[in-house]
Amino acid sequence: MTQINYKNKVMDKLKSIFLCGIFLLYSLQTSLASVVSTGNFNNDFFVTWSPSHVNTSADGRSRSLKLDQEAGSAFASNDMFLFGQIDMPIKLVPGHSAGTVLAFYLTSDQPNRDEIDFEFLGNVSGQPYILQTNVYADGFDNREERIYLWFDPTKDFHTYSILWNLHQIVFMVDFVPIRTYRNHADKGVAYPRWQPMGIRISLWDGSNWATRGGKDKVDWSKGPFIASFANYTIDACVWKGNARFCRADSSSNWWNKEEFTSLSWKQRRWFKWVRKYHLIYDYCQDNKRFNNNLPKECYLSKY
């Protein structure tokens, strides 16, 4: 064997080792980017407002927020995420909750922020809870939708979920899709796809707008107002500074798979049922608000 051939063989072997190392490193980073958490609030979240109004069980598996005349309360995730699914079981404020707002949302906290919102608007006793959803993309919102929930959300825990991937955002209640917002960026519609977002949950006084446009204020004699949380799941890509790990097609990034690019046929049936019987406001039907110039996404497919 000539010296040149020997050197070539050594170089080829070194290249193979190098490429294998790069592949393993990429695979490791991709797998580490995805987190599955089944719910210790002390490990995954920190209190951002009124620690005295946040009560967490000894094992960290359940938590409650309190609103009274002194203050509201809030907590936020330790990590930021780019795509995934968050499932949050919540028992809403019971009784006369008019004027109160419980918000469960993702936000990038940037000036041109992206945000995906669940907002639960309190009610006068005997009236149904209103669930409002909204989407901010590149700092712009005005995409509110409202539904009446088809059950009493104060009697037991119900799961409120956000699925967010490159193709769509799906809002779900007990895994029934109530709303979608598709990625129509190729048609000039803004879509949250670059900014990582953290999870935020807060309970606060929205007397000036929440119930009947602000006509029904918080009645402090009915307080304190308490909302409860338990057994959440975070299955999402933790932001490590490089979007390609969260966009990668890997076993850990299951939300990027073909089956999650749109609603399934079963989901579409449930979606249509919600829209037909429980939708009470859709910005895409509010011609007056937009002076007969509805946002572009209102004319595009929802799934």
Provide the annotated active-site residues: 115, 119
AA letter at 285 = Q
AA letter at 26 = Y
Q: What is the 3-state secondary structure (H, E, C) of the chain?
A: CCHHHHHHHHHHHHHHHHHHHHHHHHHHHHHHHEEEECCCHHHHEEEEECHHHEEECCCCCEEEEEECCCCCEEEEEEEEEEEEEEEEEEECCCCCCCCEEEEEEEECCCCCCCEEEEEEECCCCCCCCEEEEEEEECCECCCCEEEECCCCCCCCCEEEEEEECCCEEEEEECCEEEEEEECCHHHCCCCCCCCCEEEEEEEEECCCCCCHHHCCCCCHHHCCEEEEEECCEEEEEECCCCHHHHHCCCCCCHHHCHHHCCCCHHHHHHHHHHHHHCEEEEHHHCCCCCCCCCCHHHHCCCC
212: left (phi over 0), alpha (psi -120 to 50) or beta: left
